[in-house]
Structure 1
Amino acid sequence: MAAEREDRPSHAGRVRLDVPRAPRRSLLPEYDPDAFGRLSEKIARFLGTGRFIVWMTVIVIVWIAWNVLLPAGLRFDEYPFIFLTLALSLQASYAAPLILLAQNRQDDRDRVNLEQDRKQNERSIADTEYLSREVASLRMGLGEVATRDWIRSELQDLLRELQQGDGQHPSDRSG
């Protein structure tokens, strides 16, 4: 009977919950967000260096010198340097989101580190409070323990009493 039910096609409106869906095809390309984030951090790190500034300055100077000093036939971007402006704008339009992505990833790491530090501080405070209570209990316990100096002073007092006494042995005295 159960085999007959499985052989029958399911109704068009019914969805079986015990059968996984077929994976959907997406028109968007798939990528690894973590790998992309690491790449963006590397680019952002490079954009923040003096090396990048020097290379960018050299490229702009060469570009302008090429298009001003060479003969007209070899120039590819005349005076208002529209192509240079377009290239710099394109570079800036990609740099800004990459830098923001790198900052967001750093913020996430900082948030996790802050949470771990907070938990570690809580554990340290709890440990310190525990140790403080233990030291206090030890001090209270030591208050009831006979110390070497106290025993020495008691023995010296007994010795003085014996020396000042009437010469009787302490066991002979019965009060």
Structure 2
Amino acid sequence: MKQKNERCIICHKMHNDVDGIKLKNLSQELRTLILTEHPDVSEDAFICLDDLMDYRLHYIRGMIQNDSENMKMLNEKVMNSIETGNSLVNDVSDTDTTKLTVGEKVADGIAKFGGSWSFIFAFLFVLITWIIINSIALFAKPFDPYPFILLNLILSCLAAIQAPVIMMSQNRQEKRDRNQSDSDYQVNLKSEIEIRLLHEKMDHMLTQQWQHLVNIQTIQVDLLNELQERMEVLEKKGS
């Protein structure tokens, strides 16, 4: 097969057509890279193997550098998100405590004391003492003889007052629980969104990395084929 000479668009030297390749026969990435630096040439232009190898190495270095910059930018975004991100978790107990009115504080205190063993023991002590004093009449006539009508009245008044006070405290506790539930929902929602975004980023990175590996492998295969062809040409010339 007769060989003809071609002029390389990079080094502008004459080469045999077997020592180079047409731009249209290159991969899209390499062709785009060369045409970007030399927009005045066409796809039918010729490039020698030496200059083509330089461009392939340049393309590989560019991909590696681009991947490193993308990873750096991703790490910076993650760090900035951690440093500047506002937490959705609210300390509901502290917020409610700082905004309590006097009545709410009194209601909480009464409810807290009324549901403790201290109140039970104190109440039993007063009740037993009341009954003993009015039963044996140590010093004078009993002020509340059996069946202890005054004691029943006091107990009824205490129950009538204590019940709504405890309900007031329970209503505020229910409101605090509802606020805590809303806060938990916001946190869970944000976590779900961030997990989805993280999956999308990982899928994008894997797809991009896979494509880059395929491109690098293609370039390596082309380089090996060209080296093999040049070795065959040199062997033919030597023989």
TM-score interval, normalised by the smaller of the two chains? 0.5 to 0.7
Which of these residues, 96, 101, 105, is aligned with residue 38 of structure 1?
A: 105
* 2:180 alignment partner AA: N
Amino acid at match of 1:64: I
Query: In the alignment, residue 113 of structure 2 is paired with which amino acid?
Result: F
* 2:118 matched residue in structure 1: 51
Note if 1:124 corresponds to 2:191: yes
TM, length-normalised to structure 2 = 0.48
Change (3 A) 1:68 1:134: same
How big is the shift at 1:34?
A: 2.1
User: In structure 2, do the counterparts of structure 1 residues 69 and 122 end up closer, same or farther at CA, with 3 Å as the change threshold?
Assistant: same
**Structure 1 residue 70: deviation in Å?**
2.2
Query: Larger deviation: 90-99 or 111-120?
Result: 111-120
The alignment status of 1:70 with 2:132, answered yes or no, reads no
From 162, 166, 175, the counterpart of 1:95? 162
Matched, 1:80 2:147: yes
Question: Deviations along 1:72-109, whole A, 9 cap, x unmatched?
Answer: 72421101100111111111111100000001111111
TM-score normalised according to structure 1 size: 0.65
1:109 aligns with 2:176: yes
Partner Cα separation in structure 2 for residue 48 and residue 98 of structure 1: 12
Describe the SS at the equivalent of 1:80.
coil
Aligned-partner Cα distance in 2 for 1:169–1:121: 64
Q: SS in structure 2 opposite 1:87?
A: helix
Segments of 5+ residues of structure 1 without an aligned counterpart are 1-31
**Secondary structure at 1:144's aligned position in 2?**
helix
Distance 1:173 1:49, change over 3 A: farther
| Alpha-carbon shift at residue 171 of structure 1 (Å) | 7.0
Of 147, 152, 172, the match for 2:234: 172
Distance 2:232 2:148 in 1: 117
Larger relative contact order (CA 8 Å, sep ≥ 6): 1
Q: Does 1:145 align with 2:207?
A: no
Root-mean-square deviation (CA, aligned residues, Å) is 2.9
Give unmatched runs, 5+ long, in structure 2: 1-98
